[in-house]
Amino acid sequence: MEYFLQQLINGITLGSIYGLIAIGYTMVYGIIGMINFAHGDIFMVSSFIALIVITALGLTISTGLGLTILALILVLVTAMVIASVYGWTTERLAYRPLRGSFRLAPLITAIGISIVLQNYIQITQGARVKPLQPIIADGYTIMTRVDANGEFAVQISNMQILIIVVTIILMTIFSLIIAKTSLGRAQRACEQDRKMASLLGINVDRTISMTFVMGAALAAVAGLMFLLYYGVIDFFIGFVAGVKAFTAAVLGGIGSLPGAMLGGLVIGLIETFWSAYFSIEYKDVAAFSMLAIVLIFLPQGLLGKPEVEKV
């Protein structure tokens, strides 16, 4: 029971990171009906930006609590701003000029931007992994088991608490933005019918650009959380995390924000439990197999709505 609870905490933490990235995928797909395959690499770039700023500030585990909080806020804002610029640029270069073209054209361009970002980071930062010493340490012991095999403690670290709390807060904020604000209404209108939304006075180009910016900002948060949690990054993490997050978005129901978060949690839990109880080499096989099984019985995903074609 204790070992199961520990893996549950680890899986929720990993799933929260996947969910933050998946929201960016699902927001873009919900409006323009296309997948932004450069999104995972924007997550990767933002993690490198966070590492550079943390190194420049000299932030370490011995830094005082107040200074650490202020420094991390500065790191987060910097990463979000720069990642948002990358997201906006992706939309302007890969999607807007090709919006009226056949559907594969912007997809191919986005993959090209993904490759450019990977090689850009590889050239400027090197191909080796970049480590970061822990900044947020300590945690809490939930329960302890003592038996013939020794002592096992179920722990939740402060970093895991931070990731889960930040994910819940951001999920709530973005859901309220979509549901209650004028930007959210414009996004929902563009999702239903871009041409009609334009005729009604909505600036479709600006709305789509803002969606890319919001998705990139969320990817930046995920990038910082990933860096602080795992303490090691390289130029290839964007591809791996991007594929997992895309899988999470499809599993939860592409176009649904709660679905993206639910899909991220499911993928994170499957990977964690499979690695804990079975072979870690096949954790990706388990995650993608679950996706295939769900889509066989629920083609729209767990929380997605089936498309109704009007005649």
Render 149-200 in DSSP notation, one character per residue.
TEEEEEEEEHHHHHHHHHHHHHHHHHHHHHHHSHHHHHHHHHHH-HHHHHHT
Q: What is the pLDDT of residue 272?
A: 92
Instruction: Please indicate, yes or no, if residue 158 is contained in any of the structural domains.
Output: yes
Which tokens hold the place of 68?
A: 């650490």
Which tokens hold the place of 130?
A: 């970049």
Q: What is the pLDDT of residue 233?
A: 93
Instruction: Please indicate, yes or no, if residue 305 is contained in any of the structural domains.
Output: no
Mean pLDDT, rounded, for 88-113 = 84
Which tokens hold the place of 297?
A: 């019985």
Instruction: Please indicate, yes or no, if residue 306 is contained in any of the structural domains.
Output: no
Closest CA to 45 of 99, 123, 107: 123
How is residue 281 annotated by DSSP? Answer: G
Instruction: Please indicate, yes or no, if residue 303 is contained in any of the structural domains.
Output: no
Instruction: Please check the confidence at residue 306 and state whether its pLDDT lies above 80.
Output: no
Closest CA to 24 of 249, 203, 226: 249
DSSP 3-state of 148: coil
Instruction: Please indicate, yes or no, if residue 256 is contained in any of the structural domains.
Output: yes
- Residue with the two structure tokens 């402060």: 158
Instruction: Please indicate, yes or no, if residue 309 is contained in any of the structural domains.
Output: no
Quick one: CA dihedral 193, 38, 26, 212, positive or negative? Answer: negative
- Residue with the two structure tokens 């592409």: 254
Give the torsion through C-alpha atoms of 37, 43, 45, 48, to 10 deg.
Answer: -160
Q: CB of 234 within 8 A of CB of 51?
A: no
Calculate the average pLDDT of the chain.
87
Q: What is the pLDDT of residues 170-216, one digit of tens each?
A: 988 988 888 889 988 998 888 888 888 898 889 988 999 999 999 99
| Percentage of the chain exceeding pLDDT 90 | 37
Task: Give CA–CA dist 97/109, Å, rounded.
Answer: 11
Residue 142 φ then ψ, to 5°: -85, -45
The CATH number of residue 113's host domain is: 1.10.3470
Q: What is the pLDDT of residues 77-88, one digit of tens each?
A: 999 999 999 999
Domain count, the chain: 1
Instruction: Please indicate, yes or no, if residue 304 is contained in any of the structural domains.
Output: no
- Rounded (5°) CA angle 286-292-297: 130
Q: Which has the minimum average pLDDT: 17-26, 96-105, 220-229?
A: 96-105
Instruction: Please indicate, yes or no, if residue 213 is contained in any of the structural domains.
Output: yes
Which residue range is the domain that position 64 belongs to?
A: 2-297
Q: What is the pLDDT of residue 78?
A: 95
Q: What is the pLDDT of residues 259-283, one digit of tens each?
A: 889 999 999 999 999 998 888 888 8
CB count in 10 Å sphere of residue 257: 23
Closest CA to 285 of 300, 270, 269, 297: 270
Q: CB of 163 within 8 A of CB of 267?
A: no
